[in-house]
C-alpha cells in the first residue's frame, strides 16, 4: 500500500486494495477467523436479498452497514460466523425490464414465446445481477461471498418445490375462485403489494328506476363503469327511509336487467344516499355480501381491464377510459342525478403504480390458518423485536390476516409445481424433476400450471433454503449441507427495514415455523427510513435523493458508514445531510492525524499489554479505554448502534485525541503506552470504520496488510478493571486546565503564558503533584499553587469540583471592565430592540415565519451572551 504523507486521510489509496486482500484471503468466510473461534459460539445472519435489477440506494446502505457492524464484531469476538449473501429474482420488476426491452424492438413476450422470453430474462439477470453486489463491496461489507445464492438457482428452486408440495399435501395451499387484488398489467397481488394513495375523484349519483314504475332510488358510486356487474341494490335494515323498498326490484340503467333490493348491515347510512349498488365480482365488501345473499357474480371486464359483452355498447373499451363515456350516456338517458368532488383512498400496484381492481379469479392461496402457531409463539416471547413496539404492528396485521394469494400471472419466477392431466383431470404437486406422465392414469398428455409463485414465497424460505433445506438426496453426504442447518439454523438475528415487516419478515416467520418446526430467528431489528435533512422522504421528483455511491466517492465508505450508524437511533427516522457526512470525514482526519503525532515520537507500537502500562497518563487512558470497551460492547449487544458509535466518537476524539495527546506533551514517556492503547482502539472502532482502522492499525505497528495479519481477525477488545482514583485525578486536572483558561480570558490573557495561577479543589486527599505538570503545561502557567482559600485581589472561575484564581494585583482592570461594560450596553440595546419587535402583535402577524424565527434565535443568543458578560463582570469585581 502507498504511504500517505499528507495531513488528511486519503481513502482512495487503501479501500479497493484492502477489500481485495480481505476477500482473497477468505476472511469473510465461515472459517476466516478460525484461529480465534471459540467452541460453541456461532452467529448467523441473512442478507435481505436485493433485487438483481436494483441499484444500491441509501436504504440498502443502512441495512448492510448495520449488518456488517454486527458481523465484524461477532467475527472478532470469536464466533463462527456466517453472513449469507444473495440476490432476489424480483419477479414483477425483472419481467417488466425485459418486456420493455422487447417493446423497444417492436416485439411482445407472446410473440417470442415463454422459452425464448425466459432466456432473455436469464441474460438480463447475468448482465445486471452482479452490479448490486459490486456496489455492496464498495461499502466494505463482509459477507461470505463464496456462498452467494440467487432465489432461482437450482438448490433454492428445489427448496421451493419441496415447500410447495409439503404445504399442498398438508392442505395449507389451496386453489379456488376468490376476490383478489388485480393489476391489469402485473396480474394478481397480495394485500400488502397494494399501496393506497389519496385521490381526487368524483362521486356519481345514478338513478335506478324501480321495476314497478313507482319511482327510483339514487345510488352513489366512485366507479360507474362497474355498474354493469350489479346484481343487487342494498340498504341498511335500520334505515327507516327505505324499509318499504326491501324485497322490491329495480331495473339496471342502460341494461334493463332486473335486480333485487336487499337489506344488509354492511351499508353505511351516512354515505351518499344510504343506497348502494352491489357488484360482487368487483368489490371486496360486495363479494362478501354476494356470498351471504346468494347473489350472481358477473365479471364485466377481463384480466386486461377490457369491458366485455355485459357492458353493451361499451364492450371492448378499457375500464378507466370507459368511465366518462358511460357517465355521458347515463346523463343523456336521464339516469345521472349529479356529480360531486370526492377525495378517497385508491389502491395502486406497488410496482407499476397502475390502479388496482378487486377481481374474482382462480388463484393459488396459502390459508390464513397457516400462521396461527407463528402468532402464538411470537407472542409467547420466542421472537423479540427491536424496537419492542414493532410487535404491536406485527399483531395488528396478523390479526386481520387473509388468505395469501401466491400465484402470479408472470413467466419469470418459480413456475408453480402443479401438474394437470388433460385426460383424467387429475391434479398433483411435485418436487424434483418435472413429471412426464400422470400417476393416476399413466397419460403423457399432461401440462404444468402456467403461473409462477409470488416472489415472497421463495424469499420466505431464505433463512433455511440457503442452508440446503429441501434438497434431500441431492446434498446427502455433502459436509457443508450436513453441518449448516445444524449450526446456523435458526439464524441469530435479522436486520432489515420496517417497511418489509409484512412483505418478508412475517412470511419468513410463518414459513420457518411450519416447515422446520423452528422460528427462523430470535431477534428482529427493524430500522427506520433514511430521509433528507428536513425529514422528508427521498424521491427523484423532489431531487433530494442521496446516492450512497456518490457519497462514498466524496467522503469515503467509512464516513458514510459511521454517519449512518451514529444516526441509527432505534425507532427514529434518520435525517441524513452532507453536513453530517463532513463531520464523519473530519473524524477520520482527526484519527489519522493522531496517528501521525504518535509516529513522530515512536516508530512502532506493540500490541497492548496492560501490565506494561506504568505512567499515570497511560493508566488513565487505559482506564478510559476500558470504560469505552464496556459501553461499546453493551450497546452493540443491544443493537443500539448509534449509542455505540457515539461512545467511540466521544472516547477517540474527545478523550484520546483532544486530551490524551495534549496531556502527553507534558509526559513524553507516556507516548509508547498511548500508542499501544490507540492501536487497540482501532479494533474497537473497526466494525464501524473497517478501512481506516485497518490502515492505522498496520501503520502503528510498522506493518503492511500485504505481509501481515488483518485487524479484522484479531480479537475484539475486552474490558479490564479501570483505576477509579487515577481517573478522578486526571478528570480534576482537565477541569482545572479548562477553568484556568476561562479565568485567563477574564483578564484578557487567554493565549498568553502567565506566571501563576491558583486552584482550590473541593475534594481532599488528591495527588496534586501528579496533576501539577499537566495543568501547568496545558494551561500555560509557569506555576500552579494549590490552595484552600481564595487569594486577595484575584479573579475567580467556579466549576463543578474546583475554583481557579488569577491575581489582579499587577493588572489594570479598568480597561477590561470598561470593555465588558460596553459589550453589556450593546447587548442590552439589541435585546430591547428584538424584544420590542417580537412583542409587536402587528409585526408578528405580518412578518414571514422565517423572519420571526430568525429574530427569536437572535434574541436567545443575545440573552445568553449578556448573562456571560454579567458573570465575567461579577468575577472581576
Question: Cα-atom radius of gyration of the chain, to the nearest Å?
Answer: 36
Buried b (16+ CB within 10 A) or exposed e, 576-598: beeebbebbbebbebbbbbbbbb
CB 622 within 8 A of CB 672: no
Q: Which of helix, strand or coil describes residue 787?
A: coil
CB 47 within 8 A of CB 86: yes
Listed in sequence order, the residues at least 6 apart from 580 whose beta carbon sits closer than 8 Å to its beta carbon are 563, 567
The 8-class DSSP code of residue 608 comes to P
* DSSP output for 732-757: HHHHHHHHHHHHHHHTT-TTS-EEEE
CA distance 400 to 379: 16
Listed in sequence order, the residues at least 6 apart from 704 whose beta carbon sits closer than 8 Å to its beta carbon are 1, 698
CA distance 142 to 85: 9
CA 166 → CA 159, 455, 474, 499, 506, distances in Å? Answer: 11, 18, 18, 29, 20
CA 839 → CA 214, 848, 854, distances in Å? Answer: 69, 15, 15
CA distance 666 to 256: 101
**Phi, psi (5° rounding) for residue 610?**
-55, -30
Q: To the nearest 10°, report the CA torsion of 495, 500, 501, 505.
A: -60
**Phi, psi (5° rounding) for residue 97?**
-60, -45
Matching residue, cell 484556568: 740
CB 830 within 8 A of CB 862: yes
Q: Is 540 annotated as belonging to a binding site?
A: yes
Q: How far is CA 772 from the centre of its chain?
A: 50
- Helix axis angle for 671-685 and 690-700, nearest 10°, is 150
Q: Output the CA angle 23-24-25, nearest 5 degrees.
A: 90
Q: Which helix (H) or strand (E) holds 45?
A: strand 42-46
Half-sphere exposure of 588 (CA within 13 A, CB side): 27
Q: Is 23 exposed, middle or buried (0-12, 13-18, 19+ CB in 10 A)?
A: middle
CB 781 within 8 A of CB 739: no
Q: How far is CA 868 from the centre of its chain?
A: 43
Of 287, 282, 296, the closest CA to residue 264 belongs to: 287
Q: Which of helix, strand or coil describes residue 5?
A: coil
CB 600 within 8 A of CB 653: no
Of 335, 340, 301, the closest CA to residue 320 belongs to: 301
The 8-class DSSP code of residue 473 comes to G
Q: Which of helix, strand or coil describes residue 100?
A: helix
What are the binding residues?
540
Binding residues for ATP: 540
Amino acid at each position: 500500500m502507498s504511504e500517505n504523507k499528507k495531513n488528511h486521510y486519503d481513502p482512495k489509496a487503501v479501500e479497493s486494495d484492502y477489500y481485495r486482500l480481505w476477500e482473497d484471503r477468505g476472511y469473510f468466510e465461515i472459517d476466516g477467523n478460525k484461529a480465534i473461534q471459540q467452541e460453541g459460539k456461532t452467529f448467523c445472519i441473512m442478507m435481505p436479498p436485493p433485487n438483481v435489477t436494483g441499484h444500491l440506494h441509501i436504504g440498502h446502505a443502512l441495512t448492510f452497514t448495520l449488518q456488517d457492524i454486527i458481523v465484524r464484531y461477532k467475527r472478532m469476538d470469536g464466533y463462527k460466523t456466517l453472513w449469507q449473501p444473495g440476490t432476489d429474482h424480483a419477479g414483477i420488476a425483472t419481467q417488466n425490464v425485459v418486456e420493455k426491452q422487447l417493446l423497444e424492438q417492436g416485439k411482445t413476450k407472446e410473440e417470442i414465446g415463454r422459452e425464448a422470453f425466459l432466456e432473455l430474462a436469464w441474460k438480463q439477470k447475468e448482465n445486471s445481477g452482479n452490479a448490486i453486489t459490486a456496489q455492496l463491496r464498495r461499502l466494505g461489507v463482509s459477507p461470505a461471498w463464496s456462498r452467494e445464492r440467487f432465489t432461482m438457482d437450482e438448490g433454492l428452486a428445489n427448496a421451493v418445490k419441496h415447500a410447495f408440495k409439503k404445504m399442498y399435501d398438508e392442505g395449507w395451499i389451496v386453489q379456488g375462485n376468490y376476490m383478489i387484488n388485480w393489476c391489469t398489467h402485473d396480474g394478481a397481488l397480495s394485500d400488502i403489494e397494494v399501496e393506497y394513495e389519496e385521490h381526487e375523484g368524483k362521486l356519481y349519483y345514478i338513478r335506478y328506476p324501480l321495476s314497478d314504475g313507482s319511482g327510483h332510488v339514487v345510488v352513489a358510486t366512485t366507479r360507474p363503469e362497474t355498474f354493469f356487474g350489479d346484481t343487487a341494490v342494498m340498504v341498511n335494515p335500520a334505515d327507516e327511509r327505505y324499509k318499504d323498498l326491501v324485497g322490491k326490484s329495480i331495473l339496471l340503467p342502460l341494461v334493463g336487467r332486473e335486480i333485487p333490493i336487499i337489506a344488509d348491515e354492511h351499508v353505511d347510512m351516512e354515505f351518499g344516499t344510504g343506497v348502494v349498488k352491489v357488484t360482487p365480482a368487483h368489490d371486496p365488501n360486495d363479494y362478501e355480501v354476494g356470498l351471504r345473499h346468494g347473489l350472481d357474480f358477473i365479471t364485466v371486464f377481463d384480466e386486461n381491464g377490457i369491458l366485455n359483452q355485459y357492458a353493451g355498447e361499451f364492450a371492448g373499451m378499457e375500464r378507466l377510459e370507459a368511465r366518462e363515456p358511460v357517465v355521458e350516456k347515463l346523463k343523456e338517458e336521464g339516469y345521472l342525478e349529479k356529480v360531486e368532488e370526492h377525495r378517497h383512498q385508491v389502491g395502486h400496484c406497488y410496482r407499476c403504480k397502475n390502479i388496482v381492481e378487486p377481481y374474482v379469479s382462480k388463484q393459488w392461496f396459502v390459508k390464513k390458518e397457516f400462521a396461527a402457531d407463528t402468532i402464538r409463539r411470537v407472542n409467547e416471547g420466542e421472537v423479540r423485536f427491536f424496537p419492542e413496539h414493532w410487535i404491536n404492528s406485527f399483531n395488528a396485521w396478523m390479526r386481520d390476516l387473509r388468505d395469501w394469494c401466491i400465484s402470479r400471472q408472470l413467466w419469470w419466477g418459480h413456475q408453480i409445481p402443479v401438474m394437470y392431466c388433460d385426460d383424467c383431470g387429475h391434479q398433483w404437486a411435485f418436487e424434483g424433476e418435472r413429471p412426464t406422465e400422470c400417476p393416476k392414469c399413466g397419460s403423457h398428455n399432461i401440462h404444468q400450471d402456467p403461473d409462477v409463485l409470488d416472489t415472497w414465497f421463495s424469499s420466505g424460505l431464505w433463512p433455511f433454503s440457503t442452508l440446503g433445506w429441501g434438497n434431500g438426496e441431492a446434498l446427502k453426504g455433502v459436509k457443508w449441507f450436513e453441518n449448516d442447518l445444524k449450526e446456523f439454523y435458526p439464524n441469530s438475528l435479522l436486520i432489515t427495514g420496517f417497511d418489509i415487516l409484512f412483505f418478508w419478515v412475517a412470511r419468513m416467520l410463518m414459513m420457518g415455523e411450519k416447515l422446520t418446526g423452528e422460528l427462523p430467528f430470535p431477534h428482529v431489528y427493524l430500522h427506520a427510513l433514511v430521509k433528507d435533512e428536513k425529514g422528508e422522504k427521498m424521491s427523484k421528483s423532489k431531487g433530494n435523493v442521496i446516492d450512497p455511491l456518490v457519497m462514498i466517492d466524496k467522503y469515503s465508505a467509512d464516513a458514510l458508514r459511521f454517519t449512518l450508524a451514529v444516526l441509527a437511533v432505534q425507532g427514529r427516522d434518520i435525517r441524513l445531510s452532507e453536513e453530517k457526512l463532513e463531520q464523519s470525514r473530519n473524524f477520520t482526519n482527526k484519527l489519522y492525524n493522531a496517528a501521525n503525532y504518535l509516529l513522530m515520537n515512536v516508530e512502532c507500537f506493540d500490541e497492548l499489554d496492560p501490565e506494561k502500562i506504568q505512567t499515570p497518563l497511560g493508566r488513565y487512558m487505559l482506564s478510559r479505554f476500558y470504560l469505552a470497551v464496556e459501553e461499546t460492547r453493551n450497546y452493540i449487544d443491544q443493537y443500539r448502534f448509534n449509542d455505540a458509535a457515539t461512545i467511540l466518537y466521544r472516547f477517540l476524539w474527545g478523550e484520546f485525541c483532544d486530551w490524551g495527546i495534549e496531556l502527553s506533551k507534558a509526559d513524553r514517556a507516556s507516548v509508547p503506552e498511548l500508542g499501544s492503547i490507540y492501536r487497540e482502539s482501532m479494533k474497537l472502532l473497526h466494525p464501524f470504520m473497517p478501512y481506516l482502522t485497518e490502515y492505522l492499525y498496520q501503520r502503528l505497528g510498522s506493518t503492511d496488510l500485504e505481509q501481515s495479519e488483518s485487524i479484522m481477525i484479531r480479537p475484539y477488545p475486552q474490558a479490564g478493571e479501570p483505576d477509579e482514583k487515577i481517573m478522578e485525578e486526571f478528570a480534576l486536572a482537565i477541569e482545572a486546565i479548562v477553568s484556568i483558561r476561562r479565568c485567563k480570558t477574564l483578564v484578557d490573557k487567554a493565549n498568553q503564558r502567565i506566571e501563576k495561577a491558583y486552584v482550590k479543589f473541593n475534594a481532599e486527599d488528591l495527588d496534586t503533584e501528579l496533576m501539577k505538570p499537566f495543568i501547568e503545561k496545558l494551561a500555560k502557567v509557569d506555576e500552579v499553587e494549590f490552595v484552600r482559600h481564595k487569594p486577595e485581589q484575584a479573579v475567580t472561575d467556579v466549576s463543578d469540583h474546583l475554583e481557579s484564581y488569577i491575581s489582579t494585583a499587577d493588572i489594570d482592570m479598568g480597561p477590561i471592565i470598561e470593555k465588558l461594560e460596553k459589550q453589556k450596553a450593546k447587548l442590552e440595546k439589541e435585546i430591547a430592540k428584538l424584544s420590542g419587535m417580537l412583542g409587536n402583535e402587528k409585526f408578528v402577524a405580518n412578518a414571514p415565519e422565517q423572519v420571526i424565527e430568525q429574530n427569536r434565535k437572535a434574541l436567545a443568543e443575545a440573552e445568553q451572551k449578556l448573562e456571560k458578560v454579567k458573570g465575567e463582570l461579577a468575577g472581576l469585581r
